[in-house]
Amino acid sequence: MSFTSPRDVYLLAAARGVSMLGDFLAATSLVLAFQERGAGGAAVAAVLIASVLPVVALAPLAGWLVDRVDSRVLLTTVGLIQVGICAGMAFTTSTWVLVGLAMLLAAGVAITTPTFSALLPDVAGPDGVGRAMAIAQTANSAGSLVGPALAGVLVGAFGLRAPLLIDAGTYLAVVGAGLLLRTRRRVTAQERASSGTTGWKIRQEPMLWPLMLLVGALVLALNVDMVVGVFYIRETLGGSPAEFGLVEAAWMAGLLAGGWLAAARARTDKALGRLLVVLHLVTAIAVLLSGFATVVWMVYPLWLLGGAMNGAENNFLGVLAARRVPAAVRGTFFARFGAVINGANLVGYVAGGVLVGRFEPRHIVLGCGAAGVLAVLLLGPALWRASGRSAAASSLPGTSSPHSPSPVSSGSAP
């Protein structure tokens, strides 16, 4: 599996990982600072919602921009604006002004995330997407692990200003990626018309449409479980803070391993689609079985398994999208797919917060697992059938096949 541009693969992954670190650093720092100030649960909930809502609401606009504006222009411009917003947040004391600025920061993420995602198939090449996804997922996971831990240390030692200034610096990685990446997306109206993708919609793609619904439903169920997880481990199972941290780490370790194992060899679209149904079912079953645990150590192997399935799912989804989404509309696809996932995140967090005050943690965990299994049983057959009758990726207009370069893709900057 060779890359079209190995240098750009690692540069893109590094920039996204550093940016992810900054996102988690800022969000965690704000939550900690608001709690210390006694701002109340409303302020904490508001900043969490502010970090997700723009990604959902701005998906149509973000997709339109990513598919029409030079990726270098988008990354450098939005990255510089994010640097300025973070710097402004560092010198702001008003809680609600900080929430508003956090929403503006997330609006930038709504644009840069699909830009990076749309670039990945071009820098990796059709044969290298799986491995590139594993590299990018490793960088993202590192950022999401380091960010919250660093936030706790910095807020405790220096207050809110220091982590926000560091966060401003991390967005320079986005600017750097825009300037240094040789691969650029520059899809013109003529190229979109010639590729036959004018008016293309996700609903027209028989595999990706049911897959998006399935992923959204499962993410919703799992995020309810994430909210109640701390209560289940600490109160129901009597785990210590360290044991809770190890449970979370087990999922992340599994996710990284699953991503790399999935990248080990190429598979047909039919195999990918059907494997995704199986992987989602195993993920939901792992969550369901964790609800029967009587001690914390019983959760570790289940979370390791669930994380591995999750990592493989992410990898396969990226490969399938790279093959089946026309290159000219990848920005639109990734923006809207991201909106579904983040919308499910948002609903899951809210539902978890409501349910945890009304039901026993164990019952909620069991309900989440059962809901996940039910989602796969209801939505999985559509993806299974679509995978069986799916045409080869190369038959789709403007799409990268497993063995041919994308006809509507970015070139290399001189």
Residue boundaries of the structural domains of the chain: 1-186, 202-393
pLDDT value of position 389? 74
Average pLDDT over residues 101-114: 94
Residue 147 binned pLDDT confidence (cut-offs 50, 70, 90): confident
4-47 tens-digit pLDDT: 889 999 999 999 999 999 988 888 888 888 877 777 667 777 88
∠ Cα 80 175 160 (to 5°): 55
Average pLDDT over residues 230-239: 86
Exposure string over 60-79, b if 16+ CB within 10 A, otherwise e: eebbebbbbbbbbebbbbbb
Cβ-contact 390, 270 below 8 angstroms: yes
H-helix segments, 91-158: 95-124, 129-158
174-184 tens-digit pLDDT: 999 999 999 98
Residue 367 binned pLDDT confidence (cut-offs 50, 70, 90): very high
User: Among the ranges 67-81, 230-244, 335-349, which has the highest mean pLDDT value?
Assistant: 67-81
Residue 408 has pLDDT above 80, yes or no: no
Average pLDDT over residues 154-172: 91
Average pLDDT over residues 324-342: 89
Q: Which CATH number fits domain 1-186: 1.20.1250.20, 1.10.3720.10, 3.40.50.720, 3.90.1150.10?
A: 1.20.1250.20
Axis-axis angle for helices 6-37, 71-90 (nearest 10): 20
Domains 1-186 and 202-393 share a fold: yes
For the record, the structure tokens of 156 come out as 């405790």
376/216 Cα distance (integer angstroms): 11
Q: CA 61 from chain center: how many Å?
A: 19
Residue length of the chain? 414
pLDDT value of position 395? 36
| Portion of the chain with pLDDT greater than 90, in percent | 45
Q: Tokens 């209801």 sit at which residue?
A: 378
115-142 tens-digit pLDDT: 999 999 989 887 788 899 899 989 988 8
48-64 tens-digit pLDDT: 788 889 999 999 999 99
Residue 271 has pLDDT above 50, yes or no: yes
Which of 47-56, 58-67, 200-209, 389-398 is predicted least confidently? 389-398
CA distances from 257 to 127, 196, 253, 260 (A): 20, 38, 6, 5
When the pLDDT of each residue in the chain is averaged and rounded to a whole number, the result is 85
Residue 91 binned pLDDT confidence (cut-offs 50, 70, 90): very high
User: pTM of the full predicted structure?
Assistant: 0.82
Axis-axis angle for helices 161-170, 6-37 (nearest 10): 160
Cβ-contact 9, 135 below 8 angstroms: yes
Q: Which CATH number fits domain 202-393: 2.60.40.1120, 1.20.120.350, 1.20.1250.20, 1.10.287.70?
A: 1.20.1250.20
334/59 Cα distance (integer angstroms): 9
pLDDT value of position 380? 93
pLDDT value of position 191? 60
Query: Residue 196, by phi and psi: left (phi above 0), alpha (psi -120 to 50) or beta?
Result: left
Establish how many alpha carbons lie within 13 A of residue 25's alpha carbon, considering only the half-sphere containing its beta carbon. 29
CB within 8 A of 246, min separation 6: which ones?
Answer: 300
Residue 225 has pLDDT above 70, yes or no: yes
Q: Give the E-state strand segments of 236-287 in sequence order.
A: none
Residue 405 binned pLDDT confidence (cut-offs 50, 70, 90): very low
For the record, the structure tokens of 122 come out as 């071009």
Most distant CA pair in the chain, distance: 62
226/243 Cα distance (integer angstroms): 15
Partnered with residue 183 across adjacent β-strands are 412
Residue 2 has pLDDT above 90, yes or no: no
For the record, the structure tokens of 184 come out as 């650029």
126/301 Cα distance (integer angstroms): 34
